[in-house]
């Protein structure tokens, strides 16, 4: 079984990555398994840049190949916000629910036709020494609900309706079965593309 370091300590995101990558038989390792702190500064203006920062930093710390995922929600009515700041939107005092409610407060009164948004996922696979082995980006188009629904997923999932389910008034990413979400989601699309390359890349670990 090949080893792959994952640049995330978020258990829900790691579970999603593990589920989608399971057919490859890889063993995932989070930064918490290291004896060194992992807190790279994500100061790039786009998802790809932040994914590269995290992947290269973790690969150097672990001494093996690492995968980083930088993702977020881009809302058209907010000129693309929260974007790369999705995980930190509103400041450090807010949790997932607080960030979600802040975003909803900013689009109160925006008609449904203008509540378009997309989740974006940028993946980067890096080897020690700052070598980028693969970079992939995918998006999932959708609409934002006026109120959250569903207990699944994480982050902004309870207010995001993928465009394929736009006519379902009870739907959000947080209500969908994991298999359905993985098929439609930005992360699922990106990881499926990566899966074709990953076994060969992991062989470089030696």
Q: Report yes or no: 182 and 131 within 8 Å, Cβ to Cβ.
A: no
Q: Which of 39, 43, 70, 182 is catalytic?
A: 70
Supply angle C-alpha 124, 125, 129, rounded to 5.
Answer: 115
Residue 70 is among the residues annotated as catalytic for this protein: yes
For residue 134, give both structure tokens: 């693969």
Q: Are 191 and 21 in contact (CB under 8 A)?
A: yes
Residue 202 backbone zone (phi > 0: left; psi -120 to 50: alpha; other: beta):
alpha
| Cis before 111 (ω within 30) | no
Catalytic residues: 70
């Amino acid at each position: 079984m090949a080893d792959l370091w994952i640049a995330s300590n978020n258990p829900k995101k790691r579970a999603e990555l593990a589920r989608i990558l399971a057919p490859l038989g890889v063993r995932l390792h989070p930064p918490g398994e290291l004896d060194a702190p992992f807190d790279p500064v994500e100061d790039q203006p786009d998802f790809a840049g932040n994914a590269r920062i995290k992947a290269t930093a973790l690969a150097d710390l672990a001494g093996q190949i690492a995968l980083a995922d930088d993702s977020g929600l881009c809302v058209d009515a907010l000129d693309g916000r929260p974007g790369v700041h999705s995980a930190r939107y509103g400041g450090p005092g807010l949790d997932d629910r607080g960030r979600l409610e802040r975003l909803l407060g900013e689009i109160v009164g925006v008609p449904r036709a203008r509540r378009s948004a997309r989740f974006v996922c940028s993946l980067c696979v890096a080897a020690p020494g700052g070598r980028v082995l693969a970079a992939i980006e995918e998006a999932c188009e959708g609409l934002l609900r006026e109120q959250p629904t569903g207990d699944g997923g994480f982050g902004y999932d309870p207010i995001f309706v993928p465009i394929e389910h736009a006519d379902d008034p009870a739907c959000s990413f947080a209500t969908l079965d994991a298999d359905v979400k993985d098929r439609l989601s930005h992360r699922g699309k990106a990881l499926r593309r990566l899966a074709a390359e990953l076994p060969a890349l992991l062989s470089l670990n030696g």
